[in-house]
Amino acid sequence: MRIAYILTTLGVGGAERQVLALADRMAARGHAVLVVVLRRRGGHEWPTENAVHSLDMRKSPVSILAGIARARRVLRAFRPDLVHSHTFPANMTARALRLLGCAAPVLSTIHNVYEGGRHRMLAYRLTDRLSRHTTAVSEAAALRYVHLKAVPPGKCRVLTNGVDTGEFAPDAERRSRVRAAMGVGGEFVWLAAGRVVPAKDYPNVLRAFARVREGCPDARLWIAGEAADAELGPLKTLAGELGLGESVRWLGLRRDMAGLLDAADGFVLGSAWEGMPLAVAEAMAMEKPVVATDVGGVRELVGSAGKVVPAGNATALAEAMLEAAGQTPDERSQAGRAARRRIEDHFSMDVKADEWESLYLTLLPQER
């Protein structure tokens, strides 16, 4: 099978990492793979050994049309059996290519419960006939897009994200090494991860952590994620106003998530909206207590293996964090093993690659 993956960027985000992991799995299984990226290549990207073609699109009609023309030439040369696109800009590009005569069927994937307002939902609805099928990373996302009539119910299914359980596995030696490098001893360390954007609602996390500190003064919070100065400045100001001082560490963009999760004692997600947050699944694979807001597919992912609280409720988030930190080591270890088993059984990347490959095969015969 010849598969072309289209995505907006290769930036260090969960959706991008998921697509490249899937592309790598498909290549390892003997399929020919091409990755097409809408925007210009940048410095902070997930690595891949697959061929990557950048369309160098910018936000202007002329640039978009030129990029689509380039993509048409690239796909003609590659001759894919299937085009698998991810997130709104790439989904629209793949559908435009179909309209312009690309023969390969298009599979669209939605990665978040919110991919834009009513104009984008109308665009999804009007172009749906150009996509053979649509998948969503969570039941919550699928239900929302069907409700908005962006996707017909008969053409939408859920196929969740997957985790590399080999890469994300606890390592006691690495834990000791990273904690020593980070200068922590017996303190309870919470890790929050993800780009510093409104969806992640880091003010909620900071307010919750301020309450945690009242009951656990030695607690620490690490925040790992790419941040623009315009987003980071107000957060640092809020942390100062809450009296958090050096108990919060802003780690910026990090690629060593497995090591950071090993070093941490718990993982917290305070998001206002999500699709299926990969960082939560990675924390579960690392056997960490997870406390997360009930948004998107979080509840579907966590099940009974973590604490889920209402979004925007810093008090509830803090209470769940204190409850998790108050467990005995044996209780945390037992809960951590259960969380990892849940990932291995239902969300491992190998399991998901099997599901994707099976879906791909069902889409091909109708075109031949």
DSSP result, 29-73: TT-EEEEEESSPP-SSB---SSEEEE----SSHHHHHHHHHHHHH
Work out the pLDDT band at 33, boundaries 50, 70, 90.
very high
Same domain, 316 and 355: no
| 134 in any annotated domain | yes
CA dist 77 to 4, 70, 71, 368, Å? Answer: 11, 11, 10, 19
Number of separate domains in the chain: 2
Same domain, 140 and 194: no
Assess whether pLDDT exceeds 50 at residue 226. Answer: yes
Same domain, 212 and 94: no
CA atoms within 13 A on the CB side of 4: 30
| 185 in any annotated domain | yes
Same domain, 121 and 195: no
> Can you give the pLDDT at residue 366?
53
| 274 in any annotated domain | yes
Same domain, 223 and 246: yes
Same domain, 187 and 111: no
Q: Output the average pLDDT for the chain.
A: 94
Same domain, 297 and 284: yes
Say what percent of the chain tops pLDDT 70: 99
- Tokens 């962006």 belong to 150
Same domain, 13 and 132: yes
pTM: 0.89
Same domain, 335 and 357: no
Q: What is the DSSP letter of 77?
A: H
> Can you give the pLDDT at residue 40?
85
| 233 in any annotated domain | yes
Q: What is the pLDDT of residues 35-55, one digit of tens each?
A: 999 998 877 788 899 999 999
> Can you give the pLDDT at residue 367?
43
Same domain, 97 and 27: yes
Residues spanned by the domain of 297: 172-346
Work out the pLDDT band at 13, boundaries 50, 70, 90.
confident
| 167 in any annotated domain | no
Same domain, 115 and 247: no
| 204 in any annotated domain | yes
Long-range Cβ pairs for the range 64-71 (8 Å, 24+): 67/38, 67/93, 68/93, 68/96, 68/97, 68/100, 71/6, 71/36, 71/97
> Can you give the pLDDT at residue 44?
78
Mean pLDDT of 17-35: 96
Same domain, 119 and 179: no
> Can you give the pLDDT at residue 184?
94
Q: How far apart are CA 18 and CA 88, in angstroms?
A: 16
Work out the pLDDT band at 12, boundaries 50, 70, 90.
confident
Residue 261 sits in a domain whose CATH number is 3.40.50.2000
Assess whether pLDDT exceeds 60 at residue 251. Answer: yes
